[in-house]
Amino acid sequence: MAFISKLTRYVIRRWHLFIFMIICTLLTTSINIYIPRLGGQVIKNILEAGDFNALVWLVIQIIGFTGVLGILSFLSRYMNGYFSQKIVYEIRNDAFRSIQRQSLAFFNKTDTGQLISRATTDTERVGRFLGFQFRMLIETSFLLVGVIASMVMIDLELTCISLALLSLILVSFSLFGKKIRPVISESRGHFANLTSVLWESISGIRIVRAFAMEDHEREKFQKPNNAYYRSMIKAAGLRATFIPITGLIGGLMMVVITWIGGLRIIEGRMGVDTLYVFSNYATMLMRPMRLIGMIWTGYQRMAAAGERVFQIIEAEPEVKDKPNAVELKELKGHIKFENVYFGYDKEKPILKNINLEIKPGETVALLGPTGSGKSTIIRLLMRFYDVTSGRILIDEYDIRDIKIRSLRKHIGIVSQEIFLFNKSVKENISFGKPNASIKDIIKAAKIAQAHEFIVKLPNGYDTIIGERGIDLSGGQRQRIAIARALLLDPKILVLDDSTSSVDVDTEYEIQKALSALLKNRTTIMITQRISTIRNADKIIVMDNGEIIEEGDHETLMAKKGVYYRLYQTLYEAQKEALEAVEAQKRLEEEKLILTRNGGE
């Protein structure tokens, strides 16, 4: 019932549509109940009065009411469709809005396929119930009341006998509902798992092909597919068992009515026209009884799906704004980590007692092995997660006291996991600033060394780059991501291994272009590139979630500690690339000297 109260809130918002649908349904049902009476009068006129004129008039009435019935049915169906789709539209929007505001921890716990299934097929199932079965429920309710009242006025005893038989249908459907609901709920879970595997396999199709793992993926898909198939077969078996009971009991009821009514006609206690009208009502009563099974099944499906959807809608983000959170207007870019501890599992800290100060305009490089906590520091700064203890300050504000959107608007980030949308280059660069002018977009692209290759694309900045930017190389995707961050003109810039997929020449060009831009801008870089590390104002060396060394390149090299050994290892791996960069620098310096001498 909790689900019904949640759904009712959406219905109340569209109460005028709901009332109009109710009125149309009530009028339609009233006409349906009245038409058998006209049919009875036709029979009476034929058998008893022989009044031709009265017969013609009754037939005209039947035709007229049938026409009105058609118009009202159209209005009722159309308004119900509009009403149901409007509600589903709002539920789907609320589900998507809730997904968008969730913390990253939520996505760590929930499969993407589950989210897609709940926001699409589950909401659609709610709409299917509201769009047809809900209207049938209202019509059935009116019809039951009207038909039973009409039958009672004709013959109370025969009505009681009919209802006693029909009550067996209600008992069977109650039992059916108890058995079918857990099966339906289970099937929705299997379907979501199936969707998740399908999505993951399609997303990673190139890796699957590269490793020739097609057979493995088929087997992985087979498991949730078989589970969903078995649950659907189980549901079909339950329906096949219970649904025919309706027809059996309905047939038995008509036999009883015909037998008792026939005896009463023979005895002169009932007219043929009266039996005709009563039989019509009994037949009409069978329709809602048959529909009860379908409606009840539909309700169980809708309730199971709706509960899954509302779990998403009502999910509270772990990271959210305080009621009195402030809006940052301007930012200097002064960052402090004070005694910060953090763990995705609070019992297992990943960061331990992090104390770090980054002054405005300072460039800091984070260095350390995989799993040392470098990316976690970035995630905490962006407030994707909240610290377990301690605090992070920006310009002396605890970031938990700043509105999340305001905080992130001042931080530009280029992650090592580049994600581009299936849109134009221009739209991808301006993603964080949709109203940016093409002049500003081009300027950011030039700084990121992306402009040259963009203008060579088929439609330049209007070229659609495919899902996840699949039509571009890794280096091109990263340069577009850098341009996207730079367009925001952020006071704090985060580069998370942002040049890992570019060649040495391109990295050199990017670093050269960024050197001017990084002035008066706080920059945090996670990188393994020596050319980047040694130019940083400060280098933070991390291991096992702790800061073990801190200082500039010369200071740390003089210590001959962890940084010294890491640097030696990286230098050996990047020696050829570094020599190429140095040669390029010397060549440019020589060109500059020649240009100056020529000018003199």
| Structural tokens at position 188 | 């929705």
Taking only the tens place, the pLDDT of each residue in 170-200 is: 777 677 767 777 777 777 777 777 777 776 6
| Structural tokens at position 360 | 């405005």
- Predicted confidence (pLDDT) at residue 122 exceeds the cutoff of 70: yes
Averaged confidence pLDDT in the chain: 78
Map 218-276 to HEC letters. HHHHHHHHHHHHHHHHHHHHHHHHHHHHHHHHHHHHHHHHHHHHHHHHHCCCCCHHHHH
Taking only the tens place, the pLDDT of each residue in 23-50 is: 877 888 777 777 777 666 666 666 565 5
From-to residues of CATH 1.20.1560.10 in the chain: 2-313
Worst-scoring range by mean pLDDT, 98-112, 333-347, 424-438, 497-511?
A: 497-511
Q: Can you tell me the distance from the alpha carbon of 91 to that of 592, in angstroms, rounded to the nearest whole number?
A: 64
Taking only the tens place, the pLDDT of each residue in 546-586 is: 999 898 888 888 888 888 888 888 777 767 666 666 666 66
In this prediction, residue 503 has a pLDDT band, given cuts at 50, 70 and 90, of low
- Predicted confidence (pLDDT) at residue 93 exceeds the cutoff of 70: yes
| Structural tokens at position 600 | 């003199």
Contact 143, 289 (CB under 8 A): no
DSSP string, 413-452: EE-SS----SSBHHHHHTTT-TT--HHHHHHHHHHTT-HH
Per-residue pLDDT, 13: 80
In this prediction, residue 116 has a pLDDT band, given cuts at 50, 70 and 90, of confident
* DSSP element (H, E) containing 407: helix 404-409
Contact 99, 119 (CB under 8 A): yes
DSSP string, 448-472: TT-HHHHTTSTTGGG-B--GGGTTS
Look at strands 397-398 and 389-394 and give their pairing: antiparallel
Taking only the tens place, the pLDDT of each residue in 144-177 is: 888 788 778 877 878 888 778 777 777 776 777 6
The CATH architecture of the domain made up of 335-567 is: 3-Layer(aba) Sandwich (3.40)
- Predicted confidence (pLDDT) at residue 483 exceeds the cutoff of 70: yes
DSSP string, 324-381: TPBPP------EEEEEEEE-SBTTB-SEEEEEEEE-TT-EEEEE--TTSSHHHHHHHH
Per-residue pLDDT, 50: 59
The amino acid at 241? T
Handedness of CA 24, 25, 28, 30 (dihedral sign): negative
Closest CA to 414 of 529, 476, 488, 495: 495
Contact 89, 13 (CB under 8 A): no
Q: Can you tell me the distance from the alpha carbon of 404 to that of 402, in angstroms, rounded to the nearest whole number?
A: 6
- Predicted confidence (pLDDT) at residue 598 exceeds the cutoff of 60: no
Per-residue pLDDT, 210: 56
Taking only the tens place, the pLDDT of each residue in 456-472 is: 888 889 888 876 667 78
From-to residues of CATH 3.40.50.300 in the chain: 335-567
Contact 462, 426 (CB under 8 A): yes
- Predicted confidence (pLDDT) at residue 71 exceeds the cutoff of 60: yes
The CATH architecture of the domain made up of 2-313 is: Up-down Bundle (1.20)
Residue 496 backbone dihedrals phi, psi, to 5 degrees: -95, 90
Q: Can you tell me the distance from the alpha carbon of 548 to that of 351, in angstroms, rounded to the nearest whole number?
A: 12
Per-residue pLDDT, 337: 92
Grouping H, G, I as helix, E, B as strand and the rest as coil, residue 17 is helix
Instruction: Tell me which residue has tokens 């109260």.
Output: 5
Higher pLDDT, 17 or 395: 395
In this prediction, residue 510 has a pLDDT band, given cuts at 50, 70 and 90, of low
Per-residue pLDDT, 336: 92
| Structural tokens at position 101 | 């505001």
